[in-house]
Amino acid sequence: MITQLMQTLDDFSIPLLIPSQAKRLAEEFAAQQPSSRKSRQVYLNTLAVCMVNNYLRIMGIPTHLTAGESWNPAVRFYADVADLEVVGRGRLECRPIPVQENLDSTVCRVPREVQSDRIGYVIVELDLEQELATILGFVETASDSILLRQLRSPDELLEHLLSAPQPETATSGVNLRQWLENTVTTGWETVETLLFSPEASLAMRGADTVVESADSVASVIRLLDSDQSEEVRAQAAGVLGDMGVSNSTTINALTELLATAEEEETRWQAALSLGKLDANHPQAGIRRVRAIDLSSQPNPEQVALIVAIMPKANDRIGVWLQVEPLGDLTVLPGGLTLRVLSMSGETRLQVEARGDGRGRGLDRAIGRRFSPPPQTGFRVQVQFGSTTVTEDFLA
């Protein structure tokens, strides 16, 4: 079976010599990393991106090599990314694997941070001794890993890129970039206004609470240190925003965390806390929410659609969608679905709330994260039974 698999890969794989310029770039990026393990990761990722870029250029498909997150020094430092921007299409992820000498490994691992917001995943086998890169094939979507037997040929990759739709723009709807300028959109509220009672909000802002928070902020900031687990750092970042103590110490601590965090969850928590403490900060994240009725009956059950955004590299913004229960609901009803659609109605992302055998919900919240190209329009849809609510956005 493995012999047949490798024979099939050999039939359509594309071997390319690794040029000296690609090696110099990979060495330069690798030298900027804090550890030998990270240096190796960045070196291989950079080579993979360069080789896919060279192949697509040879085949007449325009790319923007320096526009990807893999070319951003800050992102390279904390994330395992190997993306390549294809002009007018989106981002390909170029994952390197070592030479399959004994055929024991038939799986390519896919980091969590690159499992969405990609138009495809290209697998590049790197033989550093022979200075040879072989483009094995691609898949359109991926989760934690890619089986080599799933790969489609590089010829199909070209067809996929040539047939991929141009980014769509929204003619109406919510302009998310205006939220970063503190412009209020009709129908959307702050999360604190909708999800917390006036009594709870007042208590959170009470004088005693503020004094106590100011006294303890230093101990929370210490939990942001790199020797803490990412889970602890993310939780501490969220707590800083809830404490409401805005000064140079907390702002600087959250800004530094954005630059050093290893997980996307940690960066989101840091950005959203910055937004609570200083909405005008250039790296601040913003959250807005609207209530959605689950039926047309009087006094229907409601859920909250939460849309969070934060600035990212190359003029992109990150988008984090969540649906949570409102009012008397404690969990989401099973079968409730959250979708991200293109402006033409094509489903791009989807997640469904789970239910047990009796129809009772199991999830406290559902959500998805992605980062659309600038000026791209998309639709967010919440559906439950015969009720469907759709909102248009412009990134």
Q: Which of residues 281, 297, 332 is at a domain's end? A: 281
In a domain, 187, yes or no: no
Q: Which of residues 281, 311, 338 is at a domain's end? A: 281
Residues 395 and 347 in one domain: yes
In a domain, 380, yes or no: yes
Element (H, E) at 124: strand 120-127
Residues 143 and 214 in one domain: no
In a domain, 32, yes or no: yes
In a domain, 334, yes or no: yes
301 DSSP assignment: -
Residues 12 and 107 in one domain: yes
pTM: 0.62
- For residue 100, pLDDT beyond 80: no
Residues 45 and 121 in one domain: yes
For 209, list phi and psi in degrees, rounded to 5: -65, -40
| Domain extent at residue 24 | 2-163
In a domain, 115, yes or no: yes
Q: Which pLDDT tens digit goes with each residue over 262-284?
A: 888 999 999 999 999 998 999 99
Confidence band, pLDDT 50/70/90 cuts, at residue 299: confident
Nearest of 130, 106, 115, 107 to residue 82 by alpha carbon = 115
Predicted local distance difference test score (pLDDT) of residue 197: 46
In a domain, 188, yes or no: no
In a domain, 186, yes or no: no
In a domain, 201, yes or no: yes
134 DSSP assignment: E
Nearest of 176, 113, 191, 188 to residue 309 by alpha carbon = 176
- Kindly report the CATH number assigned to the domain that includes residue 384: 2.60.40
Residues 63 and 174 in one domain: no
- Kindly report the CATH number assigned to the domain that includes residue 246: 1.25.10.10
Predicted local distance difference test score (pLDDT) of residue 47: 97
Q: Write down the mean pLDDT value for the chain.
A: 86
Instruction: Report the range of poorest mean pLDDT among 125-134, 322-331, 338-347.
Output: 338-347
